[in-house]
Structure 1
């Protein structure tokens, strides 16, 4: 016997799974037709009380069904139990009826009305000349749950942001300049999983055309004589750093900020903080192309990939402590790398670096963060690496 509570669990699971499709594509009727497996004569005779309670519970549940919901009742005639009238099936005609049965009526009404409103908005601004990034119907279906789960204020912001962006393509302003109450850079970042794909489905491009703050690259002048205006520690966009008049004798690129801050004075040297894949922007700093450059990053998959990206722009880059010897000597300080770390060998690595990359996997999928290497050892290797850098006239 299927109880009303068990039926609600089934319908709730069905609603969660099918709601996105129902809101955008509609639903075949009825959306729910559940056999209730009424009791046999043996069950009635063995436990008439529980059977009576079961029928009573379904009568109570039936009174709460909307116009599109119904119970199918049938009479059963048994030789030893007489005639019993009992529910045999639960039928819910439309998604609204299923939502109401599991107390999600308001959720369904929001999902349905919002999907319809956004479909009209996106279709009315669709760029038919551009190849669609994603069909509007598919984009709405995939985000229907997130759309329905928004509180009303944030839904209105999503709708208004989409409408403004579609009316003002490629505006070239910062998010905080958008004339929409409550929409700023933080809001847009938080709701980008809705705004970005829905915009792309209509506009045919994944770019909203909004400006992003320029990434800053941090420098420390390890030689005070090179520091402009005695500013030994500064951060600026790559384009602005490129305009500086500086001719260092060597450049040390490090991945860890505390490593950058801890480096001692070194005659003729400038240190650069390459935070993660920001190293890809180093090629935009013109004077780095003329300076002997030493790279020291984390001994992990990402560290080698960043090194590859830097060397792809600055081919004269040399590395230090990016080898099997360093990893093996400090294996006790290493930990597991992330499980999804790509194992494809990066481009632009030397033979020693390729061997170090292979050692990561061979020694157990390890990563050795730069800051874990003992400081005295690191300084010794850095000075040795700097002493071996070729001069510009040797390239």
Structure 2
């Protein structure tokens, strides 16, 4: 059966990308030819109306009639069956020029945009020639400010590790320019400065390249007064990177979730309390090499999330002991337990037998599966820490 105009146009869409590439390479791709299909004798006998409609569709949109688009090659066909009169059939659709193909594709605006962007890039940053060949469709996207994008690219070529905030990059059209065009800039900069990619797994420009960015903070409080004299502070907030890079003086690190609990901790020898702003994400602890030389306690909420965090910390190779996340503590303050979010996680194999039993209890009591650490009475907290430190000889 003969193709309709829409079927032919749908199939020829596959020539759009080759057309863009041929323009960039300067290689000739015309004429482009495509068979229009054929009809059998049986088709003529049983679907004559459909055949005539298809042929009419092809011819009415052709260069033969319109003066542009595909040129339809026609041939006369005779039939042995006397019931079928000789017919003039289309055989081949031929696009002779770029303009003809663009007309059929209805891509006039995209083509004009593409040609203009190619000219601009070749003038301003010819180093992108092979990038254009691999990403030619990117040059047809509407409302893409190539002049500004090229300004950013040239800046990074001059300063591949600028160590400035993205809004400080010169010549930006607005302070959110790089954020609003993150995807295309990532593609361009990966091509232009591959040896200056800081983190290839990061999607954000600030982390992927050497830009400054607002880091989540870590709240530190030394619970040993004697440590204060070493850096002048017993409590401070530092960027995550600073925490990672600078080992603490204390021998013990206490990780916890709640700000109020951190503020009310008792004095403890050679202990640093740590709370990170920005939720329960503890992945950054994996990047802290000096923690492996410390004794680590984790005091979290008695809920499924708390035990998930405990498990995660241990999978990072850290020797972590849980604090006040046991059945005795839970039962003592059970009246404050509420319903909390479930954790869809695989087996938490790093939990001790007692911790796993506590987790199982929470999973079986969904209406009372969350006891927040701030609900634990302060006097109980003091006694518990005293007991822990005596047992581990940390008070000596």
TM range (shorter): 0.5 to 0.7
Partner in structure 1 of residue 60 of structure 2: 60
Distance 1:72 1:159, change over 3 A: farther
Pairs within 5 Å for 1:1-395:
1-12=2-13, 14-15=14-15, 29=29, 33-63=33-63, 69-78=70-79, 79-92=82-95, 97-111=100-114, 113-114=116-117, 117-118=120-121, 123-124=126-127, 137=130, 139-141=131-133, 143-152=135-144, 154-184=145-175, 186-205=176-195, 206-207=197-198, 210-219=210-219, 235-238=237-240, 251-254=254-257, 259-260=258-259, 265-268=264-267, 270=273, 272-273=275-276, 275=279, 276-277=281-282, 279-280=284-285, 283=288, 293-294=297-298, 296=300, 298=305, 304-309=311-316, 317-319=320-322, 334-337=342-345, 352=352, 373-375=369-371, 383=381, 386=385, 387-388=387-388, 393=394
Question: What's the offset of the Cα at 1:37?
Answer: 1.8
Distance between the aligned counterparts of 2:393 and 2:21, measured in 1? 63
TM-score (structure 1 length as normaliser): 0.62
In the other structure, the counterpart of 2:333 is none
The match for 1:129 is none
Aligned-pair CA distance for 1:81: 2.9
CA apart distance, 1:45: 4.4
Q: Secondary structure at the match of 1:388?
A: helix
Matched pairs, number: 348
Following superposition, the deviation at residue 215 of structure 1 comes to: 1.3
Please list the CA deviations of residues 182-240 of structure 1 after superposition, one character each: whole Å capped at 9, or x if unmatched. Answer: 253x43234233223322323342258643224132438799x99x9xx9997542577
**Structure with more contact order per residue of length (Cα contacts < 8 Å, sep ≥ 6):** 1
1:377 to 1:164, Cα distance in 2 relative to 1, 3 A:
closer
Q: Which runs of 5+ in 1 are unaligned?
A: 126-135, 324-329
Change (3 A) 1:393 1:196: same
Q: RMSD of the alignment, in Å?
A: 5.6
Q: 1:273 to 1:168 in 2, by over 3 A?
A: closer
C-alpha offsets along residues 67-119 of structure 1, whole Å, 9 cap, x if unaligned? 67322222112243333222122233567654432212322443455356546
Change (3 A) 1:155 1:172: same
SS of the counterpart of 1:211?
A: coil
Residue pair 2:218, 2:275 contacting (<8 A) in 1 also: yes
Task: Answer whether contact 2:222 2:235 (CA < 8 A) is retained.
Answer: no
Query: For the residues of structure 1 that align with 2:324 and 2:87, how far apart are their CA atoms?
Result: 84
Checking the alignment, whether the CA contact within 8 Å between 2:217 and 2:239 is kept in structure 1 is yes
Indicate conservation of the 8 Å contact 1:175/1:210, yes or no: no
Change over 3 Å in CA distance of 1:45–1:393 after alignment to 2: closer
> In 2, distance between residues paired with 1:252 and 1:176?
34
Q: Which has the larger radius of gyration?
A: 2
Q: Relative to structure 1, is the Cα distance of residues 218 and 55 closer, same or farther in structure 2, using a 3 angstrom cutoff?
A: same
| Residues 1:52 and 1:376: Cα distance change in structure 2 (over 3 Å) | closer
TM-score in terms of structure 2 length: 0.62
Q: Give the Å deviation of 1:272.
A: 0.7
Deviation at residue 394 of structure 1 after TM alignment: 7.5
Where structure 2 has 5 or more consecutive residues not aligned to the other structure, the ranges are: 199-207, 327-337
**CA distance in 1: counterparts of 2:4 and 2:35, whole angstroms:** 11
1:256-296 CA deviation, whole Å, 9 max, x = no partner? xxx5467784433845126425633884999x987864254
